[in-house]
Structure 1
Amino acid sequence: MRRSFLLIVLIITAFQVSAQNYRLYGNITDTDGKPVSFASVYIRNSTYGSTANEDGDYEFKLKPGTYTVVYRSVGYLEHLEKITITNHNEQHNIRLGNEPFALQAEAGSGNEADPGADIIRKVIAKREGYLNQVPGYSCAVYVKGVQRLVSAPKKLLEHGVAKALQIDTTGKGILYQSESISQYNFENPDKVREFMTSSKTAGQNTAFSYNKASDLQVNFYKNSFNIQGLSARAFVSPFADNALNFYDYKLLGTSIKSGRRIDKIQVIPKHEHQAVYQGNVYVIDGDWRIYSVDLFLTKKSNDINFVDTLQITQQYIPITDTVWLPIATRFNFQGDVFGFKFKGYYLAIYNNYNLNPQFKKDFFNGEVLRVESQANQSKNSYWVSNRPVPLTDLESSDYKRKDSLGAIQNTPRYLDSVNKAQNYFFTLSNLIYGYQYYNRHTRESFYTYPFYQTLFYNTVEGYGINLKVNYIKGFDNGQSFSLSPAIRYGFSNKKFSANIGGTYTYDPAHQGVFMGRFGSDILDLNNVGTRTLVFNTLSSLLSENNYVKLYRTRFGIAGWQRELANGVLLNTTLSYADRQQLYNTSFNHIKDFPDKHYTANNPLAAPPTVESPLFPTNQALTFKASVTFTLRQQYITRPDGKYYEPSVFPKIRLNYRKGIDGILGSDVNYDFGSVDVFADRLKVGLVGYSAFKVTAGTFFNHRSLYFMDYNHFLGNQGTTFNPTIGNFHFLDFYDYSTDRSFLEAHYEHNFAGNLLSKVPYLRRLKLEEVIGVNYLTQAQHSNYSGVTNNALIQGVKSNYSEFYIGVQRFIFRIDYGFAFEGSRRITQGFRIFYGLR
Structure 2
Amino acid sequence: SNYEFEKAFAKKTFTNEIVSFEDNSNKKDTMFWNKIRPIPLTIEENTDYIKKDSVHEVRNSKKYLDSIDKKGNKFKFLNPINGYSWKNSSEKKSFRYDGLLKLSSLSFNTVQGWNLDSGFSFRNWKNEEEKGKSTSVNTKFNYGFSEDRLRVTANYYHRFNNQNYANLSVFGGSKVNQFNPEEPITSFINTISTLFFKDNYMKLYNKEFAGATYSQNAGNNFYLKGTLEYQQRKPLFNTTDYTFIKTEDVYSSNNPLPANNLIPIFEQHHLTKAAVFARINFGNKYISRPDGRLNIRNYDYPTLTFGYENAFASNEKKYEYQLITGQVRYDFDAGNKGTLGMNLKAGTFINGENISFVDYKHFNGNRTHIGTSDRYLNVFNLLPYYSNSTNKSYFETHLEHNDKGYIMNKIPLLNKLNSTLVVGFHALA
Taking structure 2 as the reference length, what is the TM-score of the superposition? 0.84
Q: Shift of residue 441 of structure 1?
A: 2.8
1:440 and 2:93 aligned: no
1:738 and 2:387 aligned: no
Q: Shift of residue 542 of structure 1?
A: 3.0
Match of 1:682 in 2: 332
**What is the aligned counterpart of 2:225 among 556, 559, 571?**
571
Q: What is the root-mean-square deviation of aligned Cα atoms in Å? A: 3.6
User: Which secondary structure state, in structure 2, belongs to the residue aligned with residue 536 of structure 1?
Assistant: helix
Residues 537-568 of structure 1: per-residue CA shift (max 9 Å, x gap):
23322332222111112211222223333322
Checking the alignment, whether the CA contact within 8 Å between 1:621 and 1:666 is kept in structure 2 is: no
**What is the aligned counterpart of 1:473 among 115, 124, 131?**
124
List aligned pairs for 1:352-751, cutoff 5 A: 355=6, 358=9, 361=12, 363-364=14-15, 366-374=16-24, 376-377=26-27, 382=33, 386=37, 402-421=52-71, 423=73, 437-448=86-97, 451-474=102-125, 475=127, 476-592=130-246, 594=247, 596-605=249-258, 608-648=259-299, 649-661=301-313, 668-679=319-330, 681-718=331-368, 719-724=370-375, 725-751=377-403
Q: Shift of residue 596 of structure 1?
A: 3.9
User: Which secondary structure state, in structure 2, belongs to the residue aligned with residue 672 of structure 1?
Assistant: strand
User: Which secondary structure state, in structure 1, belongs to the residue aligned with residue 351 of structure 2?
Assistant: strand
User: Which secondary structure state, in structure 2, belongs to the residue aligned with residue 414 of structure 1?
Assistant: helix
Checking the alignment, whether the CA contact within 8 Å between 1:620 and 1:666 is kept in structure 2 is: no
User: Which secondary structure state, in structure 2, belongs to the residue aligned with residue 570 of structure 1?
Assistant: strand
Q: Distance in 2 between matches of 1:501 and 1:377?
A: 37
Checking the alignment, whether the CA contact within 8 Å between 2:214 and 2:225 is kept in structure 1 is: yes
Q: Distance in 1 between matches of 2:142 and 2:156?
A: 18
Checking the alignment, whether the CA contact within 8 Å between 2:147 and 2:239 is kept in structure 1 is: yes
Q: Shift of residue 427 of structure 1?
A: 10
Match of 1:171 in 2: none
User: Which secondary structure state, in structure 2, belongs to the residue aligned with residue 510 of structure 1?
Assistant: coil
Match of 2:428 in 1: 776
User: Which secondary structure state, in structure 2, belongs to the residue aligned with residue 621 of structure 1?
Assistant: strand
Give the gaps of 5 or more residues in structure 2: none
User: Which secondary structure state, in structure 1, belongs to the residue aligned with residue 163 of structure 2?
Assistant: helix
Checking the alignment, whether the CA contact within 8 Å between 2:184 and 2:364 is kept in structure 1 is: yes
Residues 196-229 of structure 1: per-residue CA shift (max 9 Å, x gap):
xxxxxxxxxxxxxxxxxxxxxxxxxxxxxxxxxx
Q: Shift of residue 384 of structure 1?
A: 11
Q: Shift of residue 708 of structure 1?
A: 0.8
User: Which secondary structure state, in structure 2, belongs to the residue aligned with residue 545 of structure 1?
Assistant: coil
Checking the alignment, whether the CA contact within 8 Å between 2:34 and 2:40 is kept in structure 1 is: no
Match of 1:328 in 2: none
User: Which secondary structure state, in structure 1, belongs to the residue aligned with residue 115 of structure 2?
Assistant: strand
- Which has a greater percent of strand? 1
Residues 29-81 of structure 1: per-residue CA shift (max 9 Å, x gap):
xxxxxxxxxxxxxxxx27xxxxxxxxxxxxxxxxxxxxxxxxxxxxxxxxxxx
Larger Rg belongs to: 1
1:711 alignment partner AA: K
Q: Distance in 2 between matches of 1:446 and 1:762?
A: 51
User: Which secondary structure state, in structure 1, belongs to the residue aligned with residue 335 of structure 2?
Assistant: coil
Instruction: Give the 3 Å change call, closer, same or farther, for CA 683–573 of structure 1 in structure 2.
Output: same
List aligned pairs for 1:287-302, cutoff 5 A: none
Checking the alignment, whether the CA contact within 8 Å between 2:220 and 2:286 is kept in structure 1 is: no
Q: Distance in 2 between matches of 1:462 and 1:368?
A: 55
Instruction: Give the 3 Å change call, closer, same or farther, for CA 385–561 of structure 1 in structure 2.
Output: closer
Checking the alignment, whether the CA contact within 8 Å between 1:515 and 1:560 is kept in structure 2 is: yes
Instruction: Give the 3 Å change call, closer, same or farther, for CA 518–409 of structure 1 in structure 2.
Output: closer
Instruction: Give the 3 Å change call, closer, same or farther, for CA 529–367 of structure 1 in structure 2.
Output: farther
User: Which secondary structure state, in structure 2, belongs to the residue aligned with residue 527 of structure 1?
Assistant: coil
List aligned pairs for 1:119-134, cutoff 5 A: none
Instruction: Give the 3 Å change call, closer, same or farther, for CA 415–765 of structure 1 in structure 2.
Output: farther
Q: Distance in 2 between matches of 1:757 and 1:739?
A: 46
Checking the alignment, whether the CA contact within 8 Å between 1:716 and 1:729 is kept in structure 2 is: yes
Q: Distance in 1 between matches of 2:415 and 2:387?
A: 41
Q: Distance in 2 between matches of 1:535 and 1:551?
A: 19
Instruction: Give the 3 Å change call, closer, same or farther, for CA 398–694 of structure 1 in structure 2.
Output: same
Q: Shift of residue 641 of structure 1?
A: 3.0
1:739 alignment partner AA: N
Residues 715-758 of structure 1: per-residue CA shift (max 9 Å, x gap):
23321323453233332222221111111011122333334445
Residues 754-804 of structure 1: per-residue CA shift (max 9 Å, x gap):
344456776676544433222212xxxxxxxxxxxxxxxxxxxxxxxxxxx
Checking the alignment, whether the CA contact within 8 Å between 2:131 and 2:161 is kept in structure 1 is: no
Q: Distance in 2 between matches of 1:753 and 1:424?
A: 51
Instruction: Give the 3 Å change call, closer, same or farther, for CA 707–723 of structure 1 in structure 2.
Output: farther
Residues 466-510 of structure 1: per-residue CA shift (max 9 Å, x gap):
223332222241122222212222121222222212122224422
Checking the alignment, whether the CA contact within 8 Å between 1:448 and 1:468 is kept in structure 2 is: yes
1:368 alignment partner AA: I
Q: Distance in 2 between matches of 1:384 and 1:772?
A: 61
How many residues align? The count is 420
Q: Distance in 2 between matches of 1:509 and 1:391?
A: 37
1:562 alignment partner AA: Q
Checking the alignment, whether the CA contact within 8 Å between 1:661 and 1:668 is kept in structure 2 is: no
User: Which secondary structure state, in structure 1, belongs to the residue aligned with residue 388 of structure 2?
Assistant: coil
Q: Distance in 2 between matches of 1:438 and 1:562?
A: 29
Q: Shift of residue 403 of structure 1?
A: 4.9
Q: Distance in 2 between matches of 1:425 and 1:734?
A: 48
Q: Shift of residue 526 of structure 1?
A: 0.9
Match of 1:102 in 2: none
Checking the alignment, whether the CA contact within 8 Å between 2:281 and 2:297 is kept in structure 1 is: no
Checking the alignment, whether the CA contact within 8 Å between 2:353 and 2:391 is kept in structure 1 is: no
Q: Distance in 1 between matches of 2:415 and 2:272?
A: 56
Give the gaps of 5 or more residues in structure 1: 1-44, 47-318, 321-353, 778-837
1:409 alignment partner AA: R
Q: Shift of residue 710 of structure 1?
A: 0.4
List aligned pairs for 1:1-80, cutoff 5 A: 45=1
Q: Distance in 2 between matches of 1:728 and 1:430?
A: 43
Checking the alignment, whether the CA contact within 8 Å between 1:498 and 1:519 is kept in structure 2 is: yes
Taking structure 1 as the reference length, what is the TM-score of the superposition? 0.45
Checking the alignment, whether the CA contact within 8 Å between 2:365 and 2:379 is kept in structure 1 is: yes
